[in-house]
Amino acid sequence: MKKLPRARTRSEDEPEFEKEIWQPSWQCFCCHDSGIVQPHLAAIAIDGYDYNQDKLPRCQNPGCRAGSYWDSESITDSVDYRLNPAICQELDSIEREGWRQTTKRKFIDLKALSGQLAMPGTKERTQNDDREVQQRKAEIESISSERWESMRKAYLGGDSE
């Protein structure tokens, strides 16, 4: 029978795996296609803005249609229409630049970081070290529960109950 190649569940564990930076799929960066300006952006345009207490600022970015949902008469009392298209356009620009900066950052090289954080005097394991660790692990895993119980009694003395 012809064998199929492996189908890994965690491709990020592969050595050649390159992490992909998540990219937003929304069209309007001002409201993230929700129709309401993102709270951190609203705080830039509205002095002392508090998402939990203030009206929701409607996005009026040109070309953004998501805000029209918030125009129904039943909810207009909770919507703030003071942000004009120019302000929303500027907030959109600020958020886009923030995403550009985010994607420029490099991922931390975990191997280099682990080397910096290692205990003083430690060194990387060799293949022989890894083999010895695996052998010890296998030996420990093969010990029966009865043997563990007798070792526990010998070490601690008597019953634990």
Confidence of residue 100 (pLDDT cuts 50, 70, 90): confident
For residues 100 and 144, state if they share a domain. no
Based on the domain organization, do 96 and 135 belong to the same domain? no
57: enclosing H helix or E strand: strand 56-57
Check whether residue 132 and residue 89 sit in a common domain: no
Q: Is residue 73 part of a domain?
A: yes
* Confidence band, pLDDT 50/70/90 cuts, at residue 24: confident
The model's pLDDT over 33-92, given as tens digits with 9 standing for 90+, comes to 999 999 999 999 999 999 999 999 999 999 898 988 888 766 778 899 999 999 999 999
Q: Does 161 score more than 80 pLDDT?
A: no
Judgement on whether residues 46 and 97 belong to the same structural domain of the protein? yes
Q: Tell me if 115 is assigned to some domain.
A: no
Round the average pLDDT of the chain to a whole number and report it. Answer: 83
Residue 84 and residue 43 share a domain: yes
* Per-residue pLDDT at 101: 80
* 14 is a domain residue: no
Is 149 part of any domain? yes
55 and 93 fall within a common domain: yes
Number of folded domains that form the chain: 2
* Residue whose C-alpha is closest to residue 60's, from 29, 84, 79, 42: 84
- Pick 47 or 105 by higher pLDDT: 47
96 and 46 in a common domain: yes
144 and 91 belong to one structural domain: no
> CB within 8 A of 137, min separation 6: which ones?
none
Question: What's the DSSP call for residue 48?
Answer: T
> Residue 49: its pLDDT value, please?
94
Predicted confidence band at 21 (pLDDT cuts at 50, 70, 90)? Answer: low
The neighbour count for residue 54, using CB atoms within 10 Å, is 15
* Segments forming the whole domain that contains residue 135: 126-161
With respect to residue 23, please indicate whether it lies within any of the assigned structural domains: no
